[in-house]
């Protein structure tokens, strides 16, 4: 049904039609007074779009984020004006800083009410400006199709990111000609319109890679976002090049590959991987911002080491290290071109570096496993986090998607869960590290990849931020397993107080919650594990359960543990 006039439709109907034109299949969000026309249009004309009702707007944003990461399509979330617009912000800022394209739509008061103190009035464009790649308010119905096209173009091209559209009430009820409805099919997936590398920079990079004797690649999230895994592996094998990753870059290479060195940096890195980078005579950063965590506050690699930097965002290149070669281009196209050029040079008689990359990577893994194995096998109580990771790795299928909150889970899974296949199997919010992310992102991932078991790892601090979404899990009967590291504290902060402030613990402890009982109240299958001998059996039952499940692990607190966080170890 369209607005009166045959070829005319309302703004709300036009938004639904535009989402359909971009082949949007899922929208995450919840309703409000100012969203009523949009919801009515979805109910009447939204064929092909599955709207997932969430329990708050923050988790709608996290769901859109997780969904985009596993599908390669933009995630879409929505919420109402006022408080709803402020609640959705954490999901938007995390996605934007992680180069994940999500579209946040927030309805708004009518343009004719602005400045007259209507309920929920808020300058949404100003609110979202610092945390999005692009945003705007659709103040006329006939401007809606063009602004939606601009939103999809902005979030999928160049360095992907989050965008926001404010949707005033009167725009939703206004009318426009349906001839304005069309989409650019290039922007239905990301990265769209990827840039190819400059030939001169490419030739210089090949020269330096062939001349290096202890080169190492460090991959951020860029290769995974760009689908560059095969091209990366080919180049690494041609050069015998060890490949390390940031936390966000896990999945760039299967960590069982002989050239995989694992995570480097202060969160999840180990002494052996730090040494691998410290000894390098050339570092190839690929889709990596070389930020404080990956470089241990810019100490590794050391100043003076030659750097080749590949990134789709030219502002990233050279921001933290002087670069010998800068390539502002898509990771996949660049790695394909590098592989072709290196192969041609080798075929023409050039000497391969012979850098012993596989041996160096193997030595790093062996040292890491030597530290990990006795802790993973420990029978101590409370349960060591290493034992949880070992049990999960034994039980989970190769295609399982693991989502980790910051705090206790992230460093352990990053350091010790060895990913057996390349691609997006791991999700964590490394840009801003808000607690409570994992459950929402896991729900989004479950909708985006319904054939895989999804596991959300969280501390009990994070559990308090997100437990209401367990009702969403149950309503949609999603195959998601939650694992809670229960130690009755904000463990990351407590560990920081232990390491850097003389163990003066202040206001970081809280009462223990029976998380399994809470989960059962929502309808989940749930277990509590206090004995590490029970971990594998319970893990197998939880991951094999036909529906949502939760395991509450009575876990060792971080400040007493051997967490792979360099600042605490030092």
Task: Report how far residue 535's alpha carbon sits from residue 391's, in angstroms, rounded to the nearest whole number.
Answer: 6
Residues 123 and 270 in one domain: no
Q: Which of these three, 135, 154, 187, is where a domain ends? A: 187
The residues, ordered by sequence, that sit 6+ positions from 544 with a Cβ below 8 Å of its Cβ are none
**Residues 251-256, mean pLDDT to the nearest whole number:** 97
Same domain, 216 and 162: no
Query: Does 163 fall in a domain?
Result: yes
Please state the rounded mean pLDDT for residues 157-176.
98
Query: Within this chain, do residues 381 and 489 fall inside the same structural domain, yes or no?
Result: yes
Same-domain check for residues 71 and 135: yes
**Is 193 part of any domain?**
no
Note the pLDDT of residue 401.
98
CA distance linking residue 331 with residue 321, whole number of Å = 19
Phi, psi of 473 (to 5 degrees): -55, -45
Q: Which of the two residues, 558 and 152, has the higher pLDDT score?
A: 152
Question: 369 in a domain, yes or no?
Answer: no
Question: For residue 557, how many C-alpha atoms fall within 13 Å in the half-sphere facing its CB?
Answer: 19
| Residue 82 belongs to a domain | yes
The SS3 of residue 202 is helix
Q: How many domains is the chain built from?
A: 3
Specify if 366 maps to a domain: no
Q: Residue 145's pLDDT band (boundaries 50, 70, 90)?
A: very high
Mark whether 509 and 453 lie in a shared domain: yes
Q: Are 401 and 430 in a shared domain?
A: yes
Widest distance between CA atoms in the chain: 76
Which residues neighbour 205 within 8 Å (Cβ) at sequence distance 6 or greater?
284, 308, 325, 327, 338
CATH of the domain at 516: 3.40.50.970
Same domain, 228 and 181: no
Q: What's the pLDDT at 3?
A: 54
Answer yes or no: are the C-beta atoms of 418 and 396 closer than 8 Å. Answer: no
Assess if residue 555 is contained within a domain. Answer: yes
How many CA atoms, within 13 angstroms, populate the side-chain half-sphere of residue 257? 25
Do residues 165 and 285 both lie within one domain?
no
Task: State how far the Cα of 134 lies from the Cα of 96, in Å rounded to an integer.
Answer: 10
Count of positions (residues) in the chain: 570
Question: Which of 57-61, 117-121, 164-168, 283-287 shows the lowest per-residue confidence on average (mean pLDDT)?
Answer: 117-121
Judgement on whether residues 311 and 385 belong to the same structural domain of the protein: no
The DSSP string of 311-332 is ES-TTTTTSSS--SEEEES-HH
Provide the pLDDT confidence category of residue 1 given band limits of 50, 70 and 90.
very low
Residues 310, 447 share a domain = no
Domain assignment present for 370: no
Model confidence at 570: pLDDT above 70: no
In a domain, residue 130? The reply is: yes
**By C-alpha distance, which of 58, 48, 139, 143 is closest to 102?**
58
Look up the CATH number of the domain holding residue 293: 3.40.50.1220
Beta strands in 267-357 (DSSP E): 282-286, 306-311, 325-328
Single pTM value for the model = 0.96
Max mean pLDDT range (309-313, 365-369, 564-568): 309-313
**Domain termination residue (choose one: 167, 187, 207):** 187
Q: Which of 161, 187, 213 is the last residue of a domain?
A: 187
| Domain limits for position 316 | 199-360
**What integer is the mean pLDDT of 464-482?**
97
Helix 357-376 and helix 385-395: axis angle, to 10°? 110
Angle between helices 357-376 and 409-416 (to 10 degrees): 130
For the chain, percent of residues with pLDDT exceeding 90: 92
2: pLDDT confidence band, cut at 50, 70 and 90? low
Are 36 and 56 part of one and the same domain? Answer: yes
Residues 240 and 165 in one domain: no
């Amino acid at each position: 049904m369209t607005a009166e006039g045959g070829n005319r439709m309302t703004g709300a109907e036009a938004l639904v039609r535009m989402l359909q034109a971009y082949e949007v299949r899922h929208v995450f969000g919840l309703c409000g007074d100012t969203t009523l026309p949009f919801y009515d249009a979805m109910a009447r004309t939204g064929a092909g779009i599955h709207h997932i009702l969430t329990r708050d707007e923050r988790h709608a944003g996290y769901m859109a984020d997780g969904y985009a990461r596993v599908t390669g399509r933009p995630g879409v979330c929505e919420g109402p004006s006022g408080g709803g617009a402020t609640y959705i912000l954490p999901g938007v800022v995390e996605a934007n800083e992680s180069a994940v394209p999500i579209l946040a739509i927030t309805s708004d008061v009518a343009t004719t009410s602005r400045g007259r103190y209507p309920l929920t009035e808020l300058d949404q464009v100003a609110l979202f400006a610092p945390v999005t790649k692009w945003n705007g308010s659709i103040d006329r119905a006939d401007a809606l199709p063009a602004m939606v096209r601009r939103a999809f173009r902005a979030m999928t091209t160049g360095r992907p990111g989050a965008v926001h559209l404010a949707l005033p009430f009167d725009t939703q009820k206004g009318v426009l000609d349906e001839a304005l409805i069309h989409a650019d099919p290039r922007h239905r997936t990301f990265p769209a319109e990827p840039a190819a590398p400059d030939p001169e920079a490419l030739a210089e990079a090949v020269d330096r890679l062939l001349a290096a004797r202890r080169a190492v690649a460090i991959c951020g999230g860029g290769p995974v976002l760009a689908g560059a895994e095969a091209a990366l592996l080919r180049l690494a094998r041609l050069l015998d090049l060890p490949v390390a990753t940031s936390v966000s870059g896990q999945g760039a290479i299967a960590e069982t590959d002989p050239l995989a060195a694992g995570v480097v940096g202060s969160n999840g890195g180990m002494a052996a991987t730090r040494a691998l980078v410290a000894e390098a005579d050339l570092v190839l950063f690929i889709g990596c911002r070389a930020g404080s965590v990956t470089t241990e506050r810019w100490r590794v690699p050391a100043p003076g080491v030659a750097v080749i930097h590949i990134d789709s965002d030219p502002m990233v290149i050279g921001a933290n290290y002087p670069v010998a070669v800068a390539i502002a281009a898509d990771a996949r196209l660049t790695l394909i071109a590098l592989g072709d050029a290196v192969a041609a040079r080798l075929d023409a008689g050039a000497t391969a570096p012979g850098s012993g990359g596989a041996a160096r990577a193997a030595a790093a893994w062996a040292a890491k496993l030597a530290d990990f194995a006795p802790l993973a096998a420990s029978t101590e109580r409370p349960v060591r986090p290493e034992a949880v990771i070992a049990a999960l790795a034994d039980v989970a299928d190769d295609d399982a998607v693991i989502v980790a909150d910051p705090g206790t889970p992230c460093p352990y899974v990053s350091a010790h869960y060895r990913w057996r296949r390349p691609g997006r199997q791991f999700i964590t919010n490394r840009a801003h590290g808000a607690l409570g992310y994992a459950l929402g992102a896991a729900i989004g991932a479950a909708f985006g990849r319904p054939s895989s078991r999804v596991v959300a790892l969280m501390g009990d601090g994070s559990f308090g931020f997100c437990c209401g979404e367990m009702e969403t899990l149950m309503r949609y009967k999603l195959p998601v397993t939650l694992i809670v590291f229960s130690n009755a504290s904000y463990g990351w902060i407590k560990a920081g107080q232990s390491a850097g402030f003389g163990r003066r613990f202040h206001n970081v402890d809280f009462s223990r919650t029976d998380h399994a009982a809470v989960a059962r109240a929502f309808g989940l299958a749930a277990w509590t594990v206090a004995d590490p001998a029970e971990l594998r059996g319970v893990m197998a039952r939880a991951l094999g359960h036909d529906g949502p499940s939760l395991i509450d692990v009575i876990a060792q607190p971080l400040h007493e543990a051997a967490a792979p966080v360099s600042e605490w170890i030092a």
